[in-house]
Structure 1
Amino acid sequence: MAGTAVVTGASSGIGAATVRRLVKDGFDVVAVARRADRLLQVAEETGARVGCLDITDTEAVRRFAGELDTCDLLVNNAGGALGADSVATGSVDDWERMFSVNVLGTLRMTQALLPLLRDGAGGTVVTITSTAAFTAYEGGGGYSAAKAAERALSETLRLELCGEPVRVIEVAPGMVRTEEFALNRLRGDAGKAAAVYEGVDHPLTADDIAECVALAVGLPQHVNVDQLVVRPLAQAAQHRLHRGPLMNRKNEH
Structure 2
Amino acid sequence: MSEVKRVVVTGASSGIGEATARLFAARGWNVVGVARRADRLAALAASSDSIDTFVADVTSEADVAALAAYLAETGAVDALVNNAGGARGSDPVPSLSIDDLRWMLDVNVVGVALVTQALLPLLRAAAGASGSADIVTVSSTAGLQAYAGGAGYNAAKFAVHGLIGALRLDLRGEPIRVIEVAPGMVQTDEFSLNRLGGDAARAAAIYEGVDHPLVADDVASVIVSALEQPWHVNQDLIVLRPVAQAAQFAVHRGKLTPRL
Root-mean-square deviation (CA, aligned residues, Å) is: 0.9
CA–CA distance in structure 1, aligned partners of residues 224 and 67 of structure 2 = 24
Q: Give the equivalent residue in structure 1 for 2:64.
A: 61
Of 28, 33, 36, which aligns to 1:34?
A: 36
Amino acid at match of 1:9: G
Of 181, 193, 211, which aligns to 2:203?
A: 193
Q: Give the equivalent residue in structure 1 for 2:141.
A: 131
1:87-126, Cα deviation, whole Å (9 max, x unpaired): 1111111000001100000001000000011113211000
**TM-score normalized by structure 2?**
0.94
Q: Give the equivalent residue in structure 1 for 2:88.
A: 82
CA–CA distance in structure 2, aligned partners of residues 37 and 162 of structure 1 = 39
1:142 to 2:152 alignment: yes
Amino acid at match of 1:192: R
Of 175, 194, 217, which aligns to 1:165?
A: 175
Give structure 1 stretches of 5+ with no counterpart: none
Give the drift of 1:42.
1.1
Q: Give the equivalent residue in structure 2 for 1:226.
A: 236
Give the drift of 1:208.
0.1
Residues 33 and 39, structure 1, Cα contact 8 Å, conserved in 2: yes
Greater displacement, 65-74 / 180-189: 65-74
Give the drift of 1:25.
1.5
1:51 to 2:54 alignment: yes
CA–CA distance in structure 1, aligned partners of residues 92 and 259 of structure 2 = 38
CA–CA distance in structure 1, aligned partners of residues 241 and 63 of structure 2 = 35
Q: Give the equivalent residue in structure 1 for 2:221.
A: 211
CA–CA distance in structure 2, aligned partners of residues 3 and 157 of structure 1 = 23
Q: Give the equivalent residue in structure 2 for 1:72.
A: 78
**Moved runs in structure 1, 4+ residues, more than 2 A?**
none
CA–CA distance in structure 1, aligned partners of residues 48 and 153 of structure 2 = 31
Amino acid at match of 1:71: V
Greater displacement, 47-56 / 10-19: 47-56
CA–CA distance in structure 2, aligned partners of residues 144 and 26 of structure 1 = 35
Give the drift of 1:237.
1.1
Residues 124 and 217, structure 1, Cα contact 8 Å, conserved in 2: yes
1:156 to 2:158 alignment: no
Amino acid at match of 2:54: G
CA–CA distance in structure 2, aligned partners of residues 128 and 108 of structure 1 = 15
Give the drift of 1:45.
1.3
Give the drift of 1:16.
0.3
CA–CA distance in structure 1, aligned partners of residues 7 and 219 of structure 2 = 16
Residues 54 and 61, structure 1, Cα contact 8 Å, conserved in 2: yes
Give the drift of 1:249.
2.8
Give the drift of 1:248.
2.9
Indicate the SS of the match to 1:49: strand
CA–CA distance in structure 2, aligned partners of residues 95 and 204 of structure 1 = 26
1:12 to 2:22 alignment: no
Q: Give the equivalent residue in structure 2 for 1:113.
A: 119
Identical-pair percentage: 55
Q: Give the equivalent residue in structure 1 for 2:212.
A: 202
Give structure 2 stretches of 5+ with no counterpart: none
CA–CA distance in structure 2, aligned partners of residues 82 and 35 of structure 1 = 19
CA–CA distance in structure 2, aligned partners of residues 103 and 130 of structure 1 = 12
Give the drift of 1:46.
2.7
Of 180, 187, 200, which aligns to 2:190?
A: 180
**TM-score normalized by structure 1?**
0.97
Residues 19 and 46, structure 1, Cα contact 8 Å, conserved in 2: no
CA–CA distance in structure 2, aligned partners of residues 176 and 32 of structure 1 = 21
